[in-house]
Structure formats: structure tokens, C-alpha cells
Structure 1
Amino acid sequence: MAKFRSEHDLLGEAFVPSEAYWGIHTLRAVENFPISGLPISSYPELIRALAYVKEAAATTNIELGHLDQAHGAAIIRACREIAEGALHEQFVVDVIQGGAGTSTNMNANEVIANRALEMLGREKGDYEVLHPINHVNMSQSTNDVYPTALRLATCFAIPKLLTAMSDLRHAFIDKSKEFDDVLKIGRTQLQDAVPMTLGQEFLTYAVMLEEDEARLREAIDLMREVNLGGTAIGTGINTDVKYATRSVALLRELSGVELRLSDNLIEATQDCGAFVQLSGVLKRIAVKISKVCNDLRLLSSGPQSGFNEINLPARAAGSSIMPGKVNPIIPEVVNQVAFEVVGNDITITMAAEGGQLQLNAFEPIIAHSIFKSIEHLVGAFTTLRMHCVEGITANREFLLERVSASAGLATALNPHIGYENATLIAKRALAENRSVKELVLELGLVNEADLERLLHPISLTTPGI
């Protein structure tokens, strides 16, 4: 059997490996874009989404009488195999590419066409029987297929992040309950402030995550609006008047995602605002979890000359020169993912801004950046939960000693002894290395029974005078 088959395109003849399901357009792209080394198959959600788009298009064209049953049935069967995970290794175009995603669309067209040809008992490359463009790409353009598939793929990917965020949130909730009775001194600007519980501190992290989950659900709703049927610039040229509405309805059924057709396909074909919005939310998520990791690193610093309030699970030896050193490597790796997501957001912002007239040619880098942010955040949240948060312990006795010795307790007595007296007590406590309680009793400002009530953990950490 020949090792190569000959195919033709606008530029002339080229030889494609005979066993490859992709064809000459994909070959050109592989040669043209040796950029990241990552093929589009690195994002299986995108390949699955492309298969659904192509199946919806073929089914619609059959229903409208533009594609014959034999060709259409073979295309549909090929699409279903790909949607279920087959032939993903044949999607070899680099994720970063010129051409507004044309190479990705052509890679899909060729793989589907050649698999369909096999099903019809024909050889790969026998395009006179079934053609990648004339049949598989009927009523379509890259400019509606690619953004529709990208939006759908994003809808497939986001639930994984929501799950990882929810799991981490519940881990923080569990810790907040475990630490509910652990009193500590809160800080503002890294200086001692007023008492709180460690449970309150950890519950705050859970609430922050819950807010971001809500923002992410709002952002993903924008991704459900698609421009399928708009073809080249949104005017719907080369399509049946019923094509757009029907193909989107079928795509909704196939994917299980509540997609909706844009009211203005010309606007939808050129506007990348939804990606900017989603990326902004991903950045928000990254920034906030990075702040949480900063806190965990700070609270666990020491163990002898730092805050030493909590202990993070030891995951690895921390130094090649300092024996016994253990570093907060899990929060550190999450910090680095956050930095990357912020950078990806800048890339997406500039790519969206760089669009011109009726099309944005830079959606491939938007896709790459969005999927990287989502995937790496999923990994970061999962790692933080499993290898850090679930194993955190509190240095209870040390924290209690710190609270008892803190001049910050004077703030809690403001309503009862007055600001001037509280200031005097705080200054003397620091200068004389004595406790607030001792000085208040010595000066006779409050009797011992009332002082015990006022300095009770409940009184110190909840509203009430």
C-alpha cells in the first residue's frame, strides 16, 4: 500500500500520509504553524464541540433537502464517533494559528470526510465521492463554525472548574467548623487589630469562593449565544433561510447546552466581548484565590520566627542546604497559576481588541488562553484542596497565648472604659509587657466578673455591647 496519497488545493499538489484522516489543508497548517507544539486535540472539549456543530449542520442540510441521505448519514456517523472520543489524535493543527481558525475547521472537515468515506467503502482522499468542503462544510464558514464550537467547548469546560471551586469551598467550610472555637487576633495592614476566631477567617475564604462561583455562572451564560448560520460575516450567505434557526436547535439537542441564536449575526461574528467577560471572571477567581494562598503562607510562616498560627501539610523537603525546612509549596504553585491567568487575560483582551471590521482573526489565541486558564485553575483548586486545606491544623495553645497577651483586647473595652482609658491600657500593655486584663483590674476600671464576660470569645467575636 502506498505510504502517501496526492491531494490538491489552491497552492497545488502535496502528499499526505495515506493512513492520515486529515488532508492537504491540515498539512499546510502543520507546516505553517510550528508554534506551541500543542495540537488542537489537547483541548478535547473543542474537538467534541466541532463534531456536534458538523453533525447539526449535516442533519439540517438533509432536512432542508440540500444534502443527500447517503452522504449525510455517513457524515453524521463520523461526527458521532468523534464526539465520543474517536480519532482525536487526527486533530493535529497547532492551537496557535493564523487564519481565524480556518485550519482548525479544515482539520475537522477532512477528518470527518475521510472517516465518512471509509464508512461508504471508499479510500481516504476520494473527494469526488464525498468532499470536505462541498459536503462536510456545507452551509458553513470557519467564521461561524469556529466561534460556535469555541463557545460550546467553553460551556463543556466550565463545569469542571465550578466543581473544583465548590469542593474547595466545602473544604474551607469544614475547616471553619473545626476551628470555630479557636480564638486569635485579626490583623489590618499586618498589625494587630481585634479578636476573631480562626473559624471566621476560614469561613471568609468559603464565602469568597461562593461569590466567584456565582459570577462564573453569569459569565458562562453569555457563551451560550452563538452565530451559527451567519457564515462568512453574519449575513448568512450560501445558507437556506431556515438553516440558522434549525441548526442551532439541533446543536442544542446534541450538546445538552441551552444555546441560543444571536439576534444579530453580523455583530456576533465580530464581537469577542463574551470572551473578555469570561476571562475577566477567571482573572477575578485567580486573584482572589491567590490572595487566600498569600494568607495561608503568611499564617503558617515560621515555625519559630513567623506567625505560626496554622500548620500546612508537609509535602516535600524544602531546601537542599537547610535541614528540616518545609516550604508552603502548594499555595506557591496556586499563586503561579494565578499569575498565568492574569497574563492570559491580557492576551485575551488584546486579541479581542485586535479584531477588524466584520471578523476577529485572533480567536485561536483566545481559545488557547481561555482553555489554559480553565484547566490550570481546575488543577490548582483541586491541588490546594487535596494537598493543603484538608490537612491544615491550628496551633491552638499558641494562639490563645497571643490573644491573652494582645494589647488589641483594649479595643473590645472601648464602650465600657472609654477610648482614652483604652488607649492608656494598650500603651502600658505594650510598654510593660503586661496583659490588658491585668491592667484593667489593677486600675479598677471594670470588676472581674464583668471583665470575664466582656473578654469571653463570644463577646469578642460577635456584635453586642
Structure 2
Amino acid sequence: MVRLEKDLLGEREVPATVYYGIHTMRALENFPLTEYKVSPVLIKAIALIKKTAAEVNFELGYLTKEKGQAIAQAADEILNGQWQDQFVVDALQGGAGTSTNMNVNEVLANRAIELLGGQKGNYSLVHPLNDVNMHQSTNDVYPTALRIAAIWLLKPLSEGCAALQEALQAKEAAFAGVIKVGRTEMQDAVPIMLGQEFSAYAGAIARDRWRLHKVEERLRQAALGGTAIGTGINANKKYIFMVNDRVRQYAGIGLARAENMIDVIQNADVFVEVSGLLKALAVNLGKISHDLRLLSSGPRAGLRELRLPERQAGSSIMPGKVNPIIPEAVNQTAFHIMASDMAITMAAQSGQLELNAFMPLIAHHLLGSLKILTNAVHILDEFCVQGLTADEEHCRNLLENSQVSVTALVPHIGYDLASKVARRASEENITIRAAALALAVLPAEKLDAILDPRAMTRPGIAGTPK
């Protein structure tokens, strides 16, 4: 069964059972690109705007009560998770998001028609453009919906960062007494407490958490009523004020009508800013994950200072092998986010004159990055960090067999003589203390005070009064 619909370009048969219409059908034909669908969060944000517009237009006398209520009820159904299978256009599309906007318009119109007792496609009851899209343009709806969706997704990501930060701080406390070799450029450097290493990880995530919390402010400018290019053509002035105020209430976030809607519609730099902070979080997650993989390497022939939770068997050919799969997955997520950031950057700078035609690419990558990062933060926290343990004895043995303590001698005997001590220890495979005694650089008692590894993990000169 089909129904016949018309548009500017002619007629098309549309399956009778679907809620979308001819504009969506043409988009399906025109954009068989990625098989990725538009983010459900973005669809909900658009539906929220359509609900608000319908209510305001009814209150201002532009829609009948029956139409306004039917559109609003259909939008509520979408907000409650219904009809997701009707949003079928590809995430990447020409037209600055028009296909997505029309997909939502048609679904809302046809569902509203049903609610009024009509048959899908009878647009004399509720029209996708004349009624659902009244006082709107894709160009003000889509970027505003993207801002709303991004803010909605920022909150769980920020909360996930808070939980990860707490987990890292818990390990900082748990490992406060574990002394080990600190390394620079993959080489032995000076002693450090394992807890101190984790304090640095926690500090990095704390910065990300704060940055993400603050960047929400940049997204709070709504352009509803700006219509095509931000001038507000075809939008009633009362509608402009009312729709922005009510969207803020329904969205539950601090939106405000942009003072310069032309700016908000044509420029996408705010999304680049948000993406840059997501990239910064990805960088920190990737660095932490690399460290966890390295510090847990082995277990017999590697560093083996940390033990990661065992999540699954690691090899189809090597019995007993368990791989660091959670950090590996987080690393891959980090690479993905960095690539998405580049796509967002290029799309934003490619906007021309009064509109950015590449908003669908920005939306796809930005909202996808927010969701993926939230998942990555969660698994790193729950499946890895919380279950980390330290091999304290092995850490201590590595430290005792290293030459990292030689640095503490420099303030007392100078760099050149300390280098001779290090060379002697290396050539004879003895400790720094033994080499220093052999060269008679300092009395044994003084050496013991200087070479206390724990003293080297605190500010000051080891072996001198505090």
C-alpha cells in the first residue's frame, strides 16, 4: 500500500504505513552515504522546539487549538522515545540539515493527522510546512537544537569525569606509600610515589571536568525566530520572545535568545570550541590509558608495577594471555575523537556567508563524540581504575636495582662526580650507594641520609635539614 504525495519537483509514492513523507523519501534517495542515522538526542531537541512553536503559535492565534495540541502531543511522543524508526535520513546530508528538519516535520504532521482522526498524507488537516514549521526555518531550528542536544549530553559526560576523578583520587590515596622509579623519555629518572602519579591523572581529569562544565555557557544562545538568516523574516515578534522563553523552560537548561541571531546562525565556532575541549579530554584519557598499559606490561617480562582487572581472555592462540583491553578501547576512542575534531573544524570554517551548509557533519561528530566519550570515561572508571592494584614489592625492587638515586647526590658532590658514581655503578653492576662508597665521595652516614628514596619524592635537597 502506498499514498501519493507532491512537492516542488513532482509526485512520489510513499509507503502508506510510514509517518514521513515525500521530502524524506527524496533525502533517502539522495544521501545513501554512511548508514549512520541522525542522533536521537538531536531529533528529540528538534521535537521539543516543534512542540514549543506549536503551542506559541496556537496562543498567538496562528494555529487552531486542535492543530496546536495535536502537534504538541505528537512531539511529546517523540520526546518519550516513540517513532524513532521513522527518522531515517542519513546523518550526512546536503542542505544544512533541511532533510532532518523535514523528516521531523512530516512525522509530526502525519502523527498529528492520526490524532485528529485523519489518514496519513492528508495535509489539509495538518501541514508539515504551513503548520508544523510555522515561523521557523531549518536555519534557526537546527543549530538551536544542536546546542540543546550538546548541553543535554555534556551533563552526563561531566558527571562521568567527576566519577573517574574520584576513582583516580582513591587510587592516589591507596598507592600513597608505594615508592617506585619515575621515568622520563622511557628511561629511569628519579623516585616517585605511585600515588603521586595518580594525583597527576586525577588533576588532568579535574581540569577536563571544569572546562566541560564551563563551556555549557557558550552554547546557551538560541536563535529561534531568526528564521532563514537571523533577520527574523516571516516570524512574529511576540513569537520570537515567547518561543525562546518556553524552549528554555522545556529543555531545562539556561538558554537565552541570542542578541545577534545572524551571528548564531552563520557561525559555528562555538561547536569548534566544545569539540576542542572534548579533544583535550580525549588526549588526557589516551595518555592515562597508554600509561596504564605500559605500567601493567608483562606480566613477567614487562614493568609489572600495576595489575589491571582481568576482563576477558586475550588470545585465540596463546593460552593464559590477558590483554589490557579497556585502556586499548579508550585509546581508540581518543583517536576517534581527535579525528572528529578535525572534521568539525573543517566544517565550521567552510561555512559561507549567512549559513553553514555543513551543520549535519558538525552535529554528527559533536554529538557522537559526547556520547562516545561518556561511554569511554565510564568503562575506564568502572572496568579498570576501580580494580587496579599495585605490585608494591616489585616496584621497590626495580627502584633498588636502578640508579635513579644518583640525582640526589648532585647538590652535594656536583654533576661531574655524580656522573662518575653512576658510571661506576653501571660498569660494576652495583648500587649507587656502593659505588659512592667505593669512590669515597661522602661518609656512609651522610650517603644514607641523602639516598633515602622517600626524601627524594618531596621538595627540597635530600640529606639537608628541612
The percent identity for this pair of structures is 49
Equivalent of 2:33, from 32, 35, 42? 35
Q: Is it true that 1:293 corresponds to 2:293 in the alignment?
A: no
Among 73, 88, 105, which residue is 1:92 paired with?
Answer: 88
Alignment partner of 1:132 is 2:101: no
- What residue ranges of structure 2 are gaps of 5+ in the alignment? 462-466
Partner of 1:105: 101
Measure the CA separation in 2 of the matches of 1:320 and 1:210. Answer: 39
Q: Following the alignment from structure 2 to structure 1, what is the Cα–Cα distance between the partners of residues 342 and 394? A: 44
Query: Separation in 2 of the partners of 1:426 and 1:444?
Result: 14
- Tell me, what secondary structure is at the counterpart of 2:81? coil
Letter in 1 for 2:13: F
In the alignment, does 2:342 pair up with 1:342?
Answer: no
TM-score normalised according to structure 1 size: 0.94
Q: 2:382 aligns with which of 380, 386, 391?
A: 386
Other-structure match for 1:332: 328
Matches within 5 A, 1:278-289: 278-289=274-285
Task: State the alpha-carbon separation in 1 of the partners of residues 384 and 21 from structure 2.
Answer: 48
CA distance in 1, matches of 2:240, 2:446: 75
**What is aligned with 2:169?**
173
- Paired position in structure 2 for 1:26: 24
**Residue 347 (structure 2) pairs with residue 351 (structure 1):** yes
Rounded to whole Å, the distance in 1 between the matches of 2:204 and 2:438 is 43
Match of 2:464 in 1: none
Instruction: Give 2:291's aligned amino acid.
Output: D
* 1:399 corresponds to: 395
1:434 aligns with: 430
| Shift in Å, 1:452 | 4.1
* Count of aligned pairs: 461
* C-alpha contact 1:405 1:436 (8 A) present in aligned 2: no
Q: CA deviation at 1:146?
A: 0.8
SS in 2 for 1:346: helix
Question: Aligned partners of 1:242, 1:201: CA distance in 2, in Å?
Answer: 57
Between the aligned partners of 2:263 and 2:22, the Cα distance in structure 1 is 32
Question: 2:267 maps to which residue?
Answer: 271
Which whole-Å deviations, capped at 9, do the CAs of 1:260-280 have from their partners, x for residues lacking one?
122111121110101111111
Aligned to 1:83: 79
Q: Distance in 2 between matches of 1:450 and 1:225?
A: 65
Structure 1 alignment gaps of length 5 or more: none
Choose from 71, 82, 87 the match for 2:67: 71
Q: Deviations over 1:109-134 (max 9, x none)?
A: 11111121222222222211211111
Counterpart residue identity of residue 81, structure 2: G
Bigger drift between 93-102 and 405-414 goes to: 405-414
**4+ residue runs over 6 A deviation:** none
1:238 aligns with 2:234: yes
| 1:7 corresponding residue in structure 2 | 5
C-alpha distance after superposition, 1:30-77 (max 9, x if no partner): 22222121222xx22112111111122122222323222221122112
**Counterpart among 454, 457, 464 of residue 461 in structure 1:** 457
1:152 to 133, 148, 166: 148
Q: Match of 1:377, as an amino acid?
A: L
* Equivalent position SS for 2:3: strand
What per-residue deviation string (whole Å, max 9, x for no partner) do you get for residues 119-152 of structure 1?
A: 2222222211211111111000000011111111
Moved more, 285-294 or 65-74: 65-74
Q: What's 2:214 paired with?
A: 218
- 1:351-406 CA deviation, whole Å, 9 max, x = no partner? 11221111111111111111221222122222222222222221211111122222
Q: State the superposition RMSD in angstroms.
A: 1.8
Secondary structure of residue in 1 paired with 2:237 = coil
| Residue matched to 1:114 | 110
Distance 2:172 2:452 in 1: 19
Equivalence for 1:16: 14
Return 446-455 or 211-220, whichever deviates more. 446-455
Distance 1:406 1:165 in 2: 36
CA contact (8 A) 2:421 2:439 kept: no
Q: Is the 8 A contact 1:59 1:72 kept in 2?
A: yes
In structure 2, the residue matched to 1:363 is 359
Give, in whole Å, the separation in 2 of the partners of 1:7 and 1:52.
26
Please tell me the residue identity of whatever aligns with 1:36: T
Return the offset for 1:327: 2.3
Of the structure 1 ranges 136-145 and 418-427, higher mean CA displacement relative to structure 2 is found in 418-427
Of 377-386 and 317-326, deviating more is 317-326
**Secondary structure in 2 matching 1:232:** coil
Q: Distance in 1 between matches of 2:280 and 2:441?
A: 48
Q: Is the 8 A contact 1:161 1:378 kept in 2?
A: yes
Q: Is the 8 A contact 2:191 2:454 kept in 1?
A: no
TM-score normalised over the length of structure 2: 0.94
Hey, what's the Cα distance between the residues in 2 that align with 1:420 and 1:271? 59
| SS state at 2:68 partner | helix
Aligned partners of 2:37, 2:457: CA distance in 1, in Å?
54
Greater mean deviation of Cα atoms: 197-206 or 327-336: 327-336
Cα distance between partner residues in 2 of 1:64 and 1:331:
55
Deviations 1:82-101 (A, max 9, x none): 11222222111111111111
The residue identity in structure 2 corresponding to 1:117 is I
Is contact 2:179-2:454 (8 Å) kept? no
